[in-house]
A = this chain, B = another copy of it.
Amino acid sequence: MSAEKSPGPPGEGEPRPETPFHPDLVWREEIIGARPGDRVVRIARHRYFRGTAPGTLMPRPEALEPRGGWARLWWRLRRLLIGEPLATFQEQEQRLNKVRALAVLSSDALSSVAYGTEAAMRVLVLAGVAALSLTLPISVVIALLLIVVAASYEQIIGAYPGGGGAYVVALENLGTVPGLTAAAALIVDYILTVTVSVAAGIAALVSAFPPLAPWQVELSISAVALITLLNLRGVRESGTAFAAPTYIFVLSIAGLIAFGSFRLLTGGISYTPTPAVSTTATEQLSLFLILSAFAKGCSAMTGTEAIANVVPVFKPPEVRNARITLGLMAGILAGMFVGISFLTTRIGIVPDPTETETVLSQLATVVVGRSWYYYLVQFATLLILVLAANTSFVSLPRLLYVLARDRHVPRWFGLRGDRLVFSVGIIVLAILSVSLLLIFSSSVDRLLNLYALGVFTSFTLSQSGMVSHWLRARRDGWRWKSIVNGIGAVATAGVTLIIAITKFLDGAWIVLLILPILITFFLLVHGHYLYVAQQLRSARPVRPRGRPPMVLVPVSSLTRVAREALAFAEDLSTRIVAVHVAASMEEAEAIRREWPEVAGDLPLVIIESPYRLLLPPLLAYVDALRETHPDDILVVVLPEFVPRFWWDNLLHNQTALRLKAALLFRPGVVVASYPYHLG
Chain A residues within 8 Å of B, Cβ to Cβ: 10-11, 15, 17, 20-23, 25-27, 30-31, 33, 46, 48-49, 52, 55-59, 63-68, 85-89, 410-412, 415-418, 420, 525, 528-529, 531-532, 535-538, 540-549, 559-561, 563-564, 566-568, 570-577, 583-584, 588, 592, 603-613, 616-617, 619-621, 623-625, 627-633, 635, 640-642, 648, 650-652, 654, 660, 664-675, 677-679
Copy number of this protein in the oligomer?
2
Establish whether residues A10 and B628, one from each chain, have CB atoms under 8 Å apart when the complex forms.
Answer: yes
Question: Nearest chain B CB to A51's CB is how many angstroms away?
Answer: 10
Establish whether residues A17 and B547, one from each chain, have CB atoms under 8 Å apart when the complex forms.
Answer: yes
Chain B residue, CB-CB nearest to A66: B616
When chains A and B are docked, how far (Å) is the Cα of A642 from the Cα of B660? 12
The residue from B88, B546, B603, B640 contacting A610, defined by CB atoms under 8 A apart: B88
Chain B residue, CB-CB nearest to A540: B560
When chains A and B are docked, how far (Å) is the Cα of A472 from the Cα of B467? 104
Establish whether residues B535 and A549, one from each chain, have CB atoms under 8 Å apart when the complex forms.
Answer: no
Establish whether residues B571 and A17, one from each chain, have CB atoms under 8 Å apart when the complex forms.
Answer: no
Establish whether residues B542 and A567, one from each chain, have CB atoms under 8 Å apart when the complex forms.
Answer: yes
Chain B residue, CB-CB nearest to A46: B624
Chain B residue, CB-CB nearest to A610: B87
3 smallest beta-carbon distances between A and B, as pairs: A63-B620, A87-B610, A536-B559
Which residues of the partner chain B approach A544 to less than 8 Å between Cβ atoms? 567-568, 570-571
Given A549-B572, A611-B418, A651-B529, A22 contacting B559 (CB threshold 8 A): no
The residue from B531, B549, B603 contacting A678, defined by CB atoms under 8 A apart: B531
Chain B residue, CB-CB nearest to A584: B88
Chain B residue, CB-CB nearest to A59: B617
Establish whether residues A613 and B532, one from each chain, have CB atoms under 8 Å apart when the complex forms.
Answer: no
Establish whether residues B59 and A616, one from each chain, have CB atoms under 8 Å apart when the complex forms.
Answer: yes
Given A88-B612, A559-B536, A632-B15, A564 contacting B542 (CB threshold 8 A): yes
Establish whether residues B58 and A605, one from each chain, have CB atoms under 8 Å apart when the complex forms.
Answer: no
Given A30-B625, A633-B568, A664 contacting B640 (CB threshold 8 A): yes
Which residues of the partner chain B approach A26 to less than 8 Å between Cβ atoms? 577, 603, 605
Chain B residue, CB-CB nearest to A606: B56
Establish whether residues B27 and A575, one from each chain, have CB atoms under 8 Å apart when the complex forms.
Answer: no
Question: Nearest chain B CB to A600's CB is how many angstroms away?
Answer: 10
When chains A and B are docked, how far (Å) is the Cα of A291 from the Cα of B379? 70
Chain B residue, CB-CB nearest to A673: B671
When chains A and B are docked, how far (Å) is the Cα of A640 from the Cα of B660? 12
When chains A and B are docked, how far (Å) is the Cα of A585 from the Cα of B166? 32
New contact pairs (17) apart from A31-B621, A538-B560, CB-CB < 8 Å: A15-B632, A17-B548, A20-B575, A21-B575, A56-B606, A57-B605, A65-B616, A68-B665, A88-B610, A410-B650, A537-B560, A542-B563, A545-B571, A571-B633, A642-B664, A668-B675, A671-B673
